[in-house]
Structure 1
Amino acid sequence: MNGFLAYRRRPPAEPSAREIDFARRWLARRGVAVSLPTRLLCIRIGAHSVAPSAWLRTVAIYAVLAVDGAVGYQSLQELPGVHGREMTSAVTLFFVIAGLQVGWWRARRLRERNLAASVPHRLTGVTRPKGVVDGWFGATAATTFAGGAFLALAVFAAVPEARTWAWSWLGLLAVGASCTAVIVVATLREPVLAEDDASLAAGELLRREAVQATAPAMYTLPVLFDVFGEGRQPPAFTGLLIGYVALCLALQCAGPIALSRRKLPPGHYGELETAPAATADDDVWQPVVRGRC
């Protein structure tokens, strides 16, 4: 399966024209203006753009797993004393979000694994960056999962007739928390791919962005299906649930905004002049350039 997901039209160690352009624009947003980023940065940054073809191949697999998970979770309604209409109506959407989240991560991870074997002079003895999980992400994840669990338990204790809805939602929050935790831990444990101080700084920022991209607050959106749809949630908790979703989404938006203000330190990130434009038959890295940034 990994071989299928990692398949590319060109050798995976070479950046495509799309990845080169994405790396150039990514660096420009962080205060570095180059015409041709270094080969390492093109692939390293380009991996986070995740080409549509690679992303779709990966997500297709996890979409099937998500459907299987949703069907399996719905089968809990066969338990004694459980009625399907008493469970949350957002089971399928929860698993779709989980499939998209894990699928995007796997597509990026496969591209970076190809890169790890192609860096000839990788820095050694460099510790992984600290503080990658910042306060905004921590607050978002805690509010989404711990806050949601608190609300579910409150419903379970206060409204006996809604206990099925409460535990079904609590179980889905556990699924979302597990997927998010696996991705974050794996991102923190990724090897340091750098050749100098500039690529080391870019790698740290990319790692921070990868953590933010897990977007745990997305798991609050399915709750709105109950609030504005079939109304399976206890009416007394409707206002609290809407406030819960709004708070989580606000925290989720604040994290990337704060991260976008970070700039890269001075260093060699690429060349000032590019080589002649690549043709359709020559869409690979062009190392012959002049000038440095």
Structure 2
Amino acid sequence: MANAMTGWPGEPGFDEITATRQWLGKRGVEVGEPSRLLAARVGARLSRRTPGRFRWLAGAAVLSVLLGMAAGAVGLSGNGILLGLICASLEVALWLSYQHRERALGPLPVMDRRSGRPSAFAILGGWYVASFVITFGGGAALAAVIHLTTPAKAYAWGLAALLGWAALCCAVILIGTLRRPVYADDTASAAVDTELRVLDSQAALPGFYPVIVLYDMAVGDQVPAEFTGWLIAYAVLAFGTTVIGVWRHHRRPALPPGDYGTPVQVSS
């Protein structure tokens, strides 16, 4: 891989190559040096020193603070609103930093634009889909009932605003991840493409946001007392299904045999 170890513009850096080698090793593939395509894709996600990532995260934090100030200005209540806005914005900014780094390393080969993509359910899994429905569908229903049956109108609108922004951020990540082409030039890189779809989907963690409801309860922030039990059950169900879904993602099969880079040199 010419110039890969130098960190020149347009080439994966040393940290990205190392992160890719380690990721492949955990999936049963030992290489001396990964292929450039894999280093560009895996390294962009797992390297701790990916160029430009801090700028994306800082921009997301600033945007979240501005959104939180706007929410306060229109009278929405809930100390968890700002925390939730920040977390959702950071999730999508982290995902966008992956895409930006991939583009900076040059055009990626496209094996298939539609028919070869794995299905959304195969990538996400049933537990993840359940957590998404519980978090946003169940949360919207709770916010509506709180608004209609209690005086805590501002809290209900605040909860709806938080979940609406989180749903938008998660949707950006999931739609972009599931609908993108298969970036690969052989069966090995196609298998890695599938695994990276799974990894990218985990940038959106819907079940985290109902836990913020428990934070509001802890600080006594206008949570209707009669809904305490319902909100706790909502948070436990949403977070629990998310945890199970992520755990099942980690039980992925080993990568199939193929060309993943320079083989490890075995000394005689």
TM-score range, shorter chain: 0.7 to 0.9
Match of 1:184 in 2: 174
State which of 22, 45, 62 in structure 2 corresponds to 1:48. 45
Distance in 1 of aligned mates of 2:29 and 2:248: 18
CA contact (8 A) 1:20 1:37 kept: yes
Match of 1:129 among 92, 114, 118: 118
Q: Does 1:195 find its partner at 2:185? A: yes
Pairing 1:240-255 to 2, within 5 Å after superposition: 240-255=230-245
The structure 1 residue matched to 2:146, chosen from 131, 151, 155, is 155
Whole-Å separation in 2 of the counterparts to 1:267 and 1:22: 19
Q: Identity of counterpart residues, as a percentage?
A: 36
**In 2, are the aligned partners of 1:137 and 1:212 still within 8 Å (CA)?**
no
Q: CA deviation at 1:163?
A: 2.1
Structure 1 equivalent of residue 263 of structure 2 = 272
Gap change, CA 1:122 and 1:91, over 3 Å in 2: closer
Q: 1:38 aligns with which of 29, 35, 39?
A: 35
**Are residues 150 and 225 of structure 1, via their aligned partners in 2, closer, same or farther at CA, if it must alter by over 3 Å?**
same
Query: What is the number of residues matched between the two proteins?
Result: 257
Q: Tell me, in whole angstroms, the C-alpha distance in 1 between the residues paired with 2:168 and 2:206.
A: 11
Tell me the amino acid that sits aligned with residue 20 of structure 2: A
Task: Give yes or no for contact 1:144–1:220 (8 Å, CA) kept in 2.
Answer: yes
CA shift for structure 1 position 60 = 0.8
Match of 1:26 in 2: 23
Cα distance in 1, alignment partners of residues 233 and 9 from structure 2: 46
Q: CA deviation at 1:15?
A: 1.5
| Equivalent pair of 1:44/1:115 in contact (CA under 8 Å) | no
- The residue identity in structure 2 corresponding to 1:270 is G
Contact 2:10–2:106, Cα closer than 8 Å, also in 1: no
Contact 2:20 2:39 in 1 (8 A): yes
- 2:68 is aligned to 70
CA distance, structure 2, for counterparts of residue 142 and residue 192 of structure 1: 27
CA contact (8 A) 2:173 2:200 kept: no
1:16-42: CA deviation from partner (whole Å, max 9, x where unpaired): 111111111211222222232222111
**Contact map agreement 1:97 1:218 (CA 8 A) in 2:** no
Q: Is the 8 A contact 2:34 2:260 kept in 1?
A: yes
The answer as to 2:57 corresponding to 1:59 is yes
Task: Give the C-alpha shift of residue 54 in structure 1.
Answer: 2.6
**Are the equivalent residues in 2 in contact too, given 1:34–1:271 (CA < 8 A)?**
yes
Instruction: Output the CA distance in 2 between the equivalents of 1:262 and 1:217.
Output: 21
TM-score by length of 1: 0.80
Q: Is the 8 A contact 1:140 1:216 kept in 2?
A: yes
The 3 A distance-change label for structure 1 pair 202 and 227 is same
State how 1:278-293 maps to structure 2 within 5 Å.
none
Equivalent position to 2:211, from 189, 207, 221: 221
TM-score by length of structure 2 reads 0.87
RMSD of equivalent CA atoms: 2.3
Letter in 1 for 2:68: A
Q: Structure 1 residues 273, 64: closer, same or farther in 2, change over 3 A?
A: same
Amino acid at match of 1:139: A
Among residues 163, 166, 171, which one is paired with 2:161 in the alignment? 171
- 5+ unaligned residues in a row in structure 2: which ranges? 1-5
Q: State the partner residue of 1:281.
A: none
2:131 is the counterpart of 1:140: yes
Cα deviation per residue 1:214-264 (whole Å; 9 max; x = unaligned)? 112222232122211124111121122122212222211112211122122
Aligned to 1:94: 84
Structure whose CA Rg is larger? 1
- Could you tell me whether the CA contact under 8 Å between 1:50 and 1:108 is conserved in 2? no
